Structures are given as structure tokens and as C-alpha cells.
């Protein structure tokens, strides 16, 4: 293990050496436009060194060193801040003040930003940086790295990506069965929400009454960044199984008259490094426009969305309630009685056991007995549970931020094991009433109040009447 320590020491020294070699020095303000760009191989060195690190922890270590050791020069910031402050106190001509502010602005740029900027110019450089940020986010999630410097670096990358992946540079592409196999394979592998089972399944999802779109960056056409699947139907779908597993349609030709509704049933980001770059909302907007062009009479737009975290939240509740009171306050007495009758055990324990597997759906009686309580609990979870004032459930928060209405909670909407385990088979529609989305969006973001349909509000009311938290 001393050998191991030595090896680690050697790696760390190699990292420091690399960083000193690869990160360009910050030229003096006056020379910033006359300083030649670093040689290409200087930045390429960083890329290949990083690529050679097999372990997530090693990569995290390198990024941490970069973030901490090559950030802002606080001494410079102090000096320039003081200069600005002085000028503001003794007013001088604007030119002097504006230049002082520009010097300050320059001092506030972390030194590693310049490394990223130069990497972005290499072949495949932008892709590398997106992957780097994905690593960084994963390392944060795994607690491999922490701290304000890392958060700052994340912010710098995100803001660079916001410029590069601006909507003006995104191409909307449609996927069909005539698209390259390679592309369909990517689409299939990227499908995170409702996994693709076979090529026949994939073919169905790009066939008649279906649309599959993605955004690619204009510099890498054909490479999906974020993907949206849509079903064209005659009403807002209440079950994912009618969309993704139903047999082939009777005809390859769409009867345009029967298409009145677009159900957005899956949205997958393929590059985790692009989290927070607002691609999803833009993609929905663009696809809505595209569909309106293709089907001028299409009027209804809604998602059919999963409710990730619902079962977990519910199990947590059941556990804490159990500890607190020894009895279940989430269900009414009659509900408790009925469940006991079916299962023959104490409600709380029984429920915890049941919700931990997907077998309960096999029992018609249980399914019937659980519908009312789970529906109202789910409504509360979506509508009432908050994080910093906004909806706790991330999918809900996403659609509400886009201006959608929380429209309808659907029972037995996803009966796949994943659906039953993750959210008791429940799914929810968020509806986009196009003329209201701007208002909804502003209301939600400013006052944090959620616009919901009568069904949802009525379920919430039932929860408030019958359950206690």
C-alpha cells in the first residue's frame, strides 16, 4: 500500500505538471488581444491526458485540481475592485470608469475558462467538454468532488454551453424508418423513459401515428442531443401501453382526420453534460410548431409523463408514519379495513411490502382498493410537495416551468414492472394550452403557484380531507 501511495503521488505530480503545461497563462489586460493562442497540442495534451484516466475518481481529482488551482486570481480582483470603487467615489470621465470595469471583468474570468475556450476549437472539442461536464456532474452526485470551486467551474461550463447550444444553432431532425440504422440505434439506446424492446418496437415508434424528433447541434448533424417522441391520437392518452406496445397499426397511411391530439410521451437528454441548458423546453416549442404546420387542425397538446420518485416518497411516508404513531393516517378507516380484509395483515406493513414489489397488480381486489388512496396521495405528491417553493417532482417542475397545466392523473397508466415499481403504475398528463403557456410560466416562476385541472384539485382536496402528513 505504500507502493499504491507512491503511485498516487506520481499521478498527482503528473496532474500538476500537466495543468501547468496545458492551462494557458492569463495575459496582462493590455496584451490580451496580442497574445498568440496557445499551440494546439498544448490543449490537446489536456484532452488526451484526461481521456487516459480510466477511473471516475481520477478524473474528479484532475478536475478538482483544475478548479481550485486555476481559477480567479483574487489579488487581481481586489486590486481592480478597489480601482473601480475609487473611481465611483470620485467621478471621472466615463471612459476611465468603463475601462476600469472592463479590467475588473477580465480579472473575474477564471483562468481555466481559456483552456476550455481553446479546447472548444479542436476537432471534437465541444463534445469533449460536454462529456467533461457530465463527468463533473456525476462526480458531484457521487460525492467524489465537492466545494465552491467545482460549482463555479460547473457554472462556467454551463454558461459556455448556453452560448454554443443556443437555439439558433440547433437543428430539428425527424427520425423515420428511412433514417440511418446508426441513428435509430442511438435513439433506441437513449430512450430512458420507456425502454425500446426490439427493432419492431423501434419501427413502431417512428411509424404511422408517431413522430420522433431530435435536436442536433448544427456542427454535428445526425447526432441527437435531446429526443422527443410523440403519439398522434384522437384524445389525450391515459396509458403508455396503448402507445408503445400495441400491435402495428392497421394501415401504414395515417388518416389525417382522426388526428386531433399530440401526446408527448418521452423526452430524453442523450448528453448528461447538457443538463440545465434549456434544450427540453425549446424542443417542445419547436415540435409543437412543426406539428401545427403538418396538421393545421391539431389542437390538443399534452404530455403523458412518468412520476419518478412517487413510490419512494410514499414508502418514506409509510415508514415515518409507522415510527411516529404505529398506525396509518394516510388511509381512511374503511380503506384500511378493506385492505386488511384482502391481505389479512396490518395495513402499514402490508402496504410497505406490496409497494416494494409489483405483484399487487395481479390482485384485482387490491387494485380496486388502492385506486382512491393512491390517486389522492399522488395528486398531493405532485401538487403539494415542494422544493424551494417549486414542485418537488422534477418532471412536474419541468412542465410547469414550460407553462403546462397539471391535467390528469391516470390509474394503471404504466403497468410495466418499471412503472408499477416506480410510481404504482400512475402517470400524469401535463397539458399545453398554447395561448396560456406564457402566462402560466410567468405565474409559476414568480408566484410559484401551480395551475391544475379540476381532477387534480379535487384529488388534492380528498387528500387534505382524508390523509394527514
Angstrom distance (rounded) from CA 182 to CA 187: 9
- Give least dist CB 436 to a second copy, A: 13
Q: How far is the CB of 273 from a second copy (least distance, A)?
A: 15
Residue closer to a second copy (CB basis): 2 or 447: 447
Instruction: Pick from 13, 20, 92, 121 the residue near a second copy by CB under 8 A.
Output: 121
Site string for a second copy, 17-56 (x = CB under 8 A): -----------------xxx--x-----------------
387 catalytic per annotation: no
- How far is it, in rounded angstroms, from Cα 18 to Cα 42? 9
Taking a C-beta distance cutoff of 8 angstroms, is the pair 53, 100 a contact? no
Q: What angle do CA 296, 288, 267 make, to 5 degrees?
A: 145
Q: Which is nearer to a second copy, 123 or 333 (CB)?
A: 123
C-alpha closest to that of 227 among 184, 183, 190, 182 = 190
Helix (H/G/I), strand (E/B), else coil: 269: strand
Of 88, 142, 461, 469, which lies in the binding site for a second copy, with binding defined by CB under 8 A? 88
Verify binding: residue 179, a second copy, rule CB under 8 A.
Answer: yes
Q: Does 211 bind a second copy (CB under 8 A)?
A: no
Which 3 state secondary structure label does DSSP give 287? helix
**Contact call for residues 387 and 393 (beta carbons, < 8 A):** no
The helix (run of H) or strand (run of E) holding residue 268 is: strand 261-269
Residue 305 known to be catalytic: yes
Specify whether the CB–CB gap between 190 and 268 falls below 8 A. yes
User: Could you tell me which residues come within 8 angstroms of residue 254 by beta carbon, excluding any fewer than 6 positions away?
Assistant: 208, 209, 232
**Minimum distance from CB of 460 to a second copy (Å)?**
24
> Which of 305, 358, 423, 467 is labelled catalytic?
305
- Which residue carries 425502454 as its cell? 195
Provide the CB-side half-sphere exposure for 86 (13 A, CA). Answer: 9
The yes or no reply on residue 84 touching a second copy (CB under 8 A) is: yes
Would you give the distance in Å from CA 45 to the centre of its chain? 32
Residues 243-282 that bind a second copy (CB under 8 A): none
The one catalytic residue in 118, 194, 229, 399 is 399
Contact letters for a second copy, residues 426-465 (x by CB under 8 A): ------------x--xx--x--------------------
Catalytic (active-site) positions = 305, 399
**Chain residues that interact with a second copy, rule: CB under 8 A:** 34-36, 39, 72, 74, 77-78, 81-82, 84-85, 88, 94-95, 97-99, 101-102, 104-105, 108, 117, 120-123, 125-126, 147-149, 151-152, 155, 160, 163-164, 166-169, 171, 177-182, 184-185, 199, 203, 217-219, 438, 441-442, 445
Amino acid at each position: 500500500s505504500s507502493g499504491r501511495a507512491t503511485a498516487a503521488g506520481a499521478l498527482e505530480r503528473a496532474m500538476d505538471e500537466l495543468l501547468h503545461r496545458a492551462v494557458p497563462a492569463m495575459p496582462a489586460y493590455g496584451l490580451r488581444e496580442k497574445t498568440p493562442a496557445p499551440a494546439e497540442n498544448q490543449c490537446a495534451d489536456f484532452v488526451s491526458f484526461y481521456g487516459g484516466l480510466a477511473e471516475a475518481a481520477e478524473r474528479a481529482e484532475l478536475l478538482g485540481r483544475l478548479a481550485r488551482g486555476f481559477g480567479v486570481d483574487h489579488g487581481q480582483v481586489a486590486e481592480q475592485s478597489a480601482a473601480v470603487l475609487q473611481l465611483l467615489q470620485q467621478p471621472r470621465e466615463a471612459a476611465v470608469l468603463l475601462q476600469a470595469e472592463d479590467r475588473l471583468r477580465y480579472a473575474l474570468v477564471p483562468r481555466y475558462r481559456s483552456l476550455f475556450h481553446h479546447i472548444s476549437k479542436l476537432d471534437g472539442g465541444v463534445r469533449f467538454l460536454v462529456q467533461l461536464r457530465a463527468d463533473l456532474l456525476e462526480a458531484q452526485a457521487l460525492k467524489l468532488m465537492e466545494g465552491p470551486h467545482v460549482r463555479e467551474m460547473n457554472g462556467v461550463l454551463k454558461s459556455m454551453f448556453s452560448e454554443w447550444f443556443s437555439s439558433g444553432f440547433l437543428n430539428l431532425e425527424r427520425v423515420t424508418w428511412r433514417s440511418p440504422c446508426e441513428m435509430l440505434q442511438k435513439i433506441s439506446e437513449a430512450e430512458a423513459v420507456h425502454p425500446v424492446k426490439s427493432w419492431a418496437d423501434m419501427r413502431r415508434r417512428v411509424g404511422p401515428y408517431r413522430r420522433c424528433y431530435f435536436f442536433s447541434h448544427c456542427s454535428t448533424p445526425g447526432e441527437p442531443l435531446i429526443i422527443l417522441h410523440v403519439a398522434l391520437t384522437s384524445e389525450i392518452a391515459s396509458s403508455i401501453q396503448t402507445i408503445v406496445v400495441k400491435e402495428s397499426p392497421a394501415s401504414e397511411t395515417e388518416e389525417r382526420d382522426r388526428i386531433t391530439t399530440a401526446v408527448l410521451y418521452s423526452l430524453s437528454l442523450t448528453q448528461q453534460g447538457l443538463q440545465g441548458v434549456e434544450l427540453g423546453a425549446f424542443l417542445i416549442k419547436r415540435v409543437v410548431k412543426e406539428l401545427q404546420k403538418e396538421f393545421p387542425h391539431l389542437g390538443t397538446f399534452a404530455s403523458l409523463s412518468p412520476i419518478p420518485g412517487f413510490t419512494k416518497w410514499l414508502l418514506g411516508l409509510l415508514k415515518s408514519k409507522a415510527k411516529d404513531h404505529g398506525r396509518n393516517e394516510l388511509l381512511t378507516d374503511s380503506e384500511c379495513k378493506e385492505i386488511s380484509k384482502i391481505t389479512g395483515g396490518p395495513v402499514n406493513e402490508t402496504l410497505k411490502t406490496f409497494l416494494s414489489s409489483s405483484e399487487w397488480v395481479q390482485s384485482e381486489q387490491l387494485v380496486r382498493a388502492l385506486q382512491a388512496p393512491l390517486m389522492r396521495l399522488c395528486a398531493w405528491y405532485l401538487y403539494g410537495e415542494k422544493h424551494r417553493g417549486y414542485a418537488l417532482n422534477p418532471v412536474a417542475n419541468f412542465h410547469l416551468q414550460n407553462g403546462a397545466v397539471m391535467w390528469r392523473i391516470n390509474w394503471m397508466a404504466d403497468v410495466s414492472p418499471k412503472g408499477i415499481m416506480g410510481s404504482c403504475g400512475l402517470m400524469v398528463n401535463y397539458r399545453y394550452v398554447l395561448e396560456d403557456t406564457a402566462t402560466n410560466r410567468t405565474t409559476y416562476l414568480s408566484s410559484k403557484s401551480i395551475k391544475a385541472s379540476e381532477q387534480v384539485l379535487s384529488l388534492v382536496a380528498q387528500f387534505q380531507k382524508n390523509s394527514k402528513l
